[in-house]
Structures are given as structure tokens and as C-alpha cells.
């Protein structure tokens, strides 16, 4: 895959991930709480905080889609923070099996986002910076 192709596909992924982070997590929590909501009973300040943080990140990912190479640190932050966040949640889901559904929900989604973005982020452009 050429660097131009990588950037083209990365731009698409940035928009899709940005839209999902901004508008998709809340509906997923309603439709599939055992895979997306860690505190299912009643109001969750934790969920509200996570929604706010990810909605903000989503908006900035959509803005980064205009010129991904100018926002490479944001892209790599998203990749590495998704790995760390997904890894911690994965360990927690295994340790507390009542949360095992998260392995197929938000944990899998975060790891998938990290892998796809890492694969599509051009390496040649990084070496020249």
C-alpha cells in the first residue's frame, strides 16, 4: 500500500472513529450495556465522564482527518491510549467475570481501533519529521 493510499484510508478511519467516539458510545451502552457500560445500575457519573472525554477526542479526530500528518501526535495518542485503556479493561473483565462481556464490546473495539490506525499511519512521513 502506498503512503498516499494509507493517508486516504486513514482519513476515512479518522472520520468513522471520530463519529463513533462522538455519537456512538452512548447508543451502544443503551443497546448492549453488558459490553459497553461498566456501571449498569442507575445513573453513572463514570459513564458521563467517559462519554465527555471520548466525544471530545472524536471531534478532534474528525478535524485531524483534514490533514492527518499535521496531527500525527493526536493519532498516536489515540492508538496508544486505546491499547492501554483496552488492556486495563481486558484485565479487569477477566478478573471480574461479571464484566466478561466487555471483552467482546469496548475492549475489542479499542484494540481494533488501535490496530487499524497503527497499520494505516504512514511510516515514511514519520521518519522525515
Is residue 95 within 8 Å of 116, Cβ to Cβ? no
Confidence of residue 128 (pLDDT cuts 50, 70, 90): low
The predicted pLDDT at position 125 comes to 52
Once rounded to an integer, what is the mean pLDDT over residues 64-77? 96
Q: What does the pLDDT look like over 84-109, one tens digit per residue?
A: 999 999 999 999 988 888 899 999 99
Cα 15–chain centre separation: 12
Please compute the mean of the pLDDT values over residues 21-25 and round it to a whole number. Answer: 95
**What is the full DSSP assignment across 31-61?**
H-HHHH-S--SS--HHHHHHHHHHHHHHHHH
Helix (H) or strand (E) holding 18, with range, is: helix 3-19
**Count of alpha carbons within 13 angstroms of residue 35, beta-carbon side:** 13
pLDDT at 127: 47
Amino acid at each position: 500500500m502506498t503512503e498516499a493510499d494509507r493517508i486516504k484510508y486513514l482519513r476515512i478511519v479518522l472520520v468513522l472513529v471520530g463519529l463513533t467516539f462522538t455519537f456512538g458510545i452512548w447508543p451502544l451502552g443503551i443497546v448492549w450495556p453488558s459490553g459497553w457500560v461498566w456501571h449498569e445500575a442507575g445513573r453513572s457519573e463514570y459513564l458521563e465522564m467517559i462519554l465527555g472525554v471520548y466525544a471530545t477526542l472524536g471531534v478532534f479526530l474528525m478535524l485531524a482527518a483534514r490533514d492527518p500528518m499535521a496531527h500525527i501526535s493526536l493519532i498516536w495518542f489515540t492508538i496508544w491510549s486505546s491499547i492501554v485503556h483496552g488492556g486495563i479493561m481486558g484485565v479487569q473483565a477477566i478478573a471480574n467475570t461479571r464484566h466478561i462481556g466487555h471483552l467482546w464490546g469496548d475492549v475489542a473495539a479499542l484494540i481494533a481501533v488501535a490496530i487499524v490506525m497503527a497499520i494505516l499511519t504512514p511510516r515514511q512521513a514519520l521518519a522525515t519529521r
